[in-house]
Structure 1
Amino acid sequence: MDWLLRILLVIHLLSWAFVVGAWLSRLRAPVPIAKGVSHAAATALLTGLLMVGVREMDDLEVNNAKIAVKLVVAIVVTVLAFVAQRRNDKAPVGMAHAIGGLATVNVLIAVLWT
């Protein structure tokens, strides 16, 4: 199952990288979020849940508090991304900043919380 966990981790990290990269690429011009951000956020959410499931099946250690915080942040990012995509050009710029900022916070939690 180690190979499955590694593949899920790669997909998870690439999904968050897409969300953060799309946000950073549009910082100068106040435009709506890039197409695909909502799907990348949903993919990151799904792969994160799958990684926790695989770790639990292998009886590996899981920090449940960290996972809970990351899950809440990921759900908020995903919901905001789908709402912003649905609103199209009428989505506030602050919503795009919230999506990118919270995605960055999620990555920081993953790396810095030990």
Structure 2
Amino acid sequence: MNVLINVFVGLHIVGIAALLGGFMTQMKAMGAGTARFIPAMLHGALTMLVTGALLVGFREMDGGTVNNVKIGVKMAILFVILALVYLKRDEERVEKALFGAVGGLTVVNIFIAVLWH
């Protein structure tokens, strides 16, 4: 079970990298007001959702405990990110504040995962 969990942790990190990396590649464009949500951001957020849900299930199947409040907060933030990216994915330009919010929420989600025990 540990190998399976570690594989999905790795995939979860790949999802985070796609979402945050997509944001970072658009930061210069954000400054110019021409940033847009790229497909990697949507795919990364979806990867995070699927792998995160599976990781919770694997943890419970393995007899571990899960901090349901932490997971709930992280999922709520991720749903906001997913909704914003999904609804605005076809727009040529996204408002700076909205684009920055997605990047900020992504970073907040990362820090919740790392710091909240």
Q: Same fold (TM over 0.5)?
A: yes
Displacement after TM superposition at 1:78 (Å): 1.1
Identity of aligned pairs, percent?
35
Is 1:61 matched with 2:60? no
Task: Please tell me whether the aligned partners of residues 12 and 43 of structure 1 are also in contact (alpha carbons under 8 angstroms).
Answer: yes
Is 1:25 matched with 2:25? yes
1:84-110 per-position Cα deviation (integer Å, ceiling 9, x unaligned): 203x21432322211111111101100
Is 1:94 matched with 2:93? no
Partners of 1:66 and 1:108 lie apart in 2 by 11
Task: Please tell me whether the aligned partners of residues 84 and 95 of structure 1 are also in contact (alpha carbons under 8 angstroms).
Answer: no
Is 1:111 matched with 2:114? yes
Report the 3-state secondary structure (helix = DSSP H, G, I; strand = E; otherwise coil) of the residue aligned with 1:109: helix
Please report the TM-score for the alignment, with normalisation by the length of structure 2.
0.89
Equivalences for residues 70-89 of structure 1 within 5 A? 70-86=74-90, 88-89=91-92
Partners of 1:3 and 1:84 lie apart in 2 by 37
Partners of 1:95 and 1:4 lie apart in 2 by 36
Partners of 2:56 and 2:17 lie apart in 1 by 20
Report the 3-state secondary structure (helix = DSSP H, G, I; strand = E; otherwise coil) of the residue aligned with 1:60: coil
Partners of 1:59 and 1:10 lie apart in 2 by 21
Task: Please tell me whether the aligned partners of residues 8 and 47 of structure 1 are also in contact (alpha carbons under 8 angstroms).
Answer: yes
Displacement after TM superposition at 1:14 (Å): 1.2
Structure 1 unmatched ranges of 5 or more: none
Alpha-carbon RMSD across the aligned residues, in angstroms, is 1.3
Structure 2 unmatched ranges of 5 or more: none
Partners of 2:87 and 2:69 lie apart in 1 by 27
Displacement after TM superposition at 1:25 (Å): 1.9
Is 1:3 matched with 2:3? yes
Report the 3-state secondary structure (helix = DSSP H, G, I; strand = E; otherwise coil) of the residue aligned with 1:32: coil
